[in-house]
Amino acid sequence: MSGKGASAKLEPRCSSLKRRPPWRMRRCKSSCAGPGEASKRSVRRPERKDRPGRGASMMSDRRKLLLVVVPVLAVNVFFGSDIYRLSKQRERIKEDYSRVNSIRYGLLSVDSWKERIQVVLTGRIADFRLSKAQEAVLREEVSKTLHTLISEAERMLRKPQSTLSGKIRKLAIRTFVDVEDIRRQVPAFTRAILDGLQKPGQTKKLKKLAQRGLDSYAAQVSDSPEDTARQLEVLARYRTEDRGEFNRLAAHRIQALESDISATCVLMLDSALVFLFAWWLARGKPELHGVLFSSSAAFALLLLAVGLALPMIDLDARIKSVDFLLWGGHVRFHDQVLFFRSKSILQVVQVLMDTGKADSIAVGVLLVLFSVLFPLSKLVSMEVYLRGGPKVRESPWIRFFAFQSGKWSMADVTVVAIFIAYIGFKGILSSQLAGLNIQAAYVEVIATNETALQPGFILFTAFVLFGFALSEILKRVVLAQPASVRSPR
């Protein structure tokens, strides 16, 4: 009778469980437990003695995890800053290289043509020797000139003279000078003139006279002083004397910087694999998920920041070499840069904003909103959702950015767009530059397209893929939690 009364008294309490929230059910069940259940709980009590040891083990695992992820994050912060510094150095050198080797200061420069033609003509003057064919032509011209002079002299002598002295001089010349005999001596005069011109002393004088005329003409033709000053400023900054020395130094520095950037970029990508491997090891340890997710989100944020700050793509079109055969000498131009641009996403946004046009500003704002702010908000929301309580998890904004903002974020779209732009620009430039390739008897032109993807694109792509992985990890972590902790979907 007493048992029935006790059970009757407990029934109203147990029926109230249906109206109580989940987090109060444990307390209610303990208060509503019968004698049998109480005895079962009394049997489980000794298990609580092991909880201090289990808590110590959890703390030990967390410390071990922190000892791994904190140094990895610190090292990657250093890697990110180092890549940014090296990329800025490379960008400055590439811009200076494109400025010094611009077609404006090469194929389209008066000074460049003057220098090269002057070298060719100076060599021709120094190597001047009359060939048999040239000697025959020169003999014919000298002979014609002498006959013309004799005819002109005879015409002047036959002119009527008004003075007595003139008449006497005319009579004397006609008496003692035979014009036809002088004409017969023209070949001898011609040979004597040519022999005199071919003497070493006379040849040297002619070369000096020709060189002096060439130098005088070259001094009158030059580019604008502003263009020359810009060229000299860049050369002085690198402590080089001429364009050739600057090109060798710049190429060596760019190669060294690109090697360092590639190595550091590979290390950051390896760190992403380290975090994913850590998640695989901690898949059965829920107590480590919070620390590991926070460190993974911080690493993803680092990838985003570095990817946005670094150049995404280099657009580089140039004429590799031009070779003209002029007067027996070669006029050569090398690495004539037609077009060069290297911009990061943030630099593109800045350029759009600086235009001051409404459409450009709108594009810049949308680019920042969907490619920068949305991915950043997604990372923050995932972290808040994992560590927040039921009320925080039920927030529509947190749930939207944590689980549904992926369809609105344009980070993955940006990656695809940049890759398509790379393929498109490379194809267009290659097809256009192919029309400049010329191989003829007296001229040879080789055009090249050196457009290439840069570390900014690689790291931004790594951020997108790592973000996808974190989203999937968050879903699995939440599903593995007790129903009383999860927020209903």
Minimum mean pLDDT range among 170-179, 272-281, 299-308: 170-179
pLDDT at 158 > cutoff 60: yes
pLDDT at 77 > cutoff 90: yes
Going by pLDDT thresholds of 50, 70 and 90, the confidence category of residue 252 is very high
pTM value > 0.85: no
| Residue pLDDT, tens place only, 190-204 | 777 666 666 666 566
Instruction: With H, G, I as helix, E, B as strand and everything else as coil, classify residue 322.
Output: strand
Q: What is the rounded average pLDDT of the residues 483-487?
A: 51
Q: Are 190 and 143 in contact (CB under 8 A)?
A: yes
Minimum mean pLDDT range among 117-131, 259-273, 309-323: 117-131
Give me the residue label for tokens 């410390």: 63
Q: Are 211 and 130 in contact (CB under 8 A)?
A: no
Q: What is the rounded average pLDDT of the residues 402-417?
A: 62
| Residue pLDDT, tens place only, 86-145 | 999 998 999 888 888 887 777 767 666 666 666 666 666 555 666 667 667 777 777 777
**Chain centroid, CA 489 distance in Å:** 45
Going by pLDDT thresholds of 50, 70 and 90, the confidence category of residue 443 is low
Helices (H), 355-486: 358-368, 374-387, 390-393, 396-399, 411-434, 455-480
pLDDT at 328 > cutoff 70: no
Going by pLDDT thresholds of 50, 70 and 90, the confidence category of residue 206 is low
Sketch the domain layout of the chain as residue ranges: 71-109+224-480, 131-197
Going by pLDDT thresholds of 50, 70 and 90, the confidence category of residue 261 is very high
